[in-house]
Each structure stands twice: as structure tokens, then as C-alpha cells.
Amino acid sequence: MIRFARAFLHFWSDFLIGDRLELFVGPIVVLLAAGALLGAGVDGALVGILFFAAIGLVGALSIGLATRR
């Protein structure tokens, strides 16, 4: 049972995270930050634009890291 649970967790971590942790953590951090901005009353459209830009930055950061590995 424990082996099955471990294999199950390993499969999903490999499926969603793989060897690029920043691509898993980055979007979650960006979502949390966008949620916080909305909660603070920042305009929704502006948050949308910032959200798009931040996701683009996460992708660029990951590519930068990959080319240095």
C-alpha cells in the first residue's frame, strides 16, 4: 500500500513538476500575488495585465535557468 502511494505520488510529481520546479512554484506564486492584489482593491484589468506579464517572466526565468544548467 505504501509502495503504491509512493509510486502514485512519484508519478504525479514527475507529471506536474518534473525537473523544472520553478515552473510549478512560479505560477502558484503569481496566482497568490494576483489574488492579493485583487483583495487589496487593485483594478481587475490591471491585475490581468500584470498576471500575463508575470507568467511570461516565469517562463523567461525558467529558460534562463535551463540554458545555464
Partner 1 sequence: MARNQPRGAFTAGRYDGGVNSVAVVTILSAFLASAVEFVEAATIVLAVGVTRQWRSALIGVAAAVVTLALLIAVFGSALALFVPIGTLRLVVGAFLLIYGLQWITKAILRAAGAKAKHDEAAIFAAEVAGLDREPPVAATGMDWISFTVAFKGVLLEGLEVAFIVVTFGASANLLGPAVLGATLAGLIVVAIAVIVHAPLARVPENAMKFVVGVMLTGFGTFWSGEGIGIHWPGDDLAIVLILAGYLALALAGVWLLRQQARRSGDPALAVGAPRP
Work out whether 10 is an interface residue with partner 1 (CB under 8 A).
no
Which residues ranging from 30 to 69 are in contact with partner 1 (CB under 8 A)? Answer: 31, 34-35, 38, 44-45, 47-48, 51-52, 55-56, 58-60, 62-63, 66-67
CB contact set of 55 (below 8 Å; sequence gap of 6+): 26, 27, 30
Closer CB to partner 1, 5 or 28, in the complex: 28
Closest CA to 34 of 6, 20, 54, 16: 54
Closest CA to 24 of 68, 69, 59, 65: 59
Residues that bind partner 1 (CB under 8 A): 15-16, 18, 20, 23-24, 26-28, 31, 34-35, 38, 44-45, 47-48, 51-52, 55-56, 58-60, 62-63, 66-67
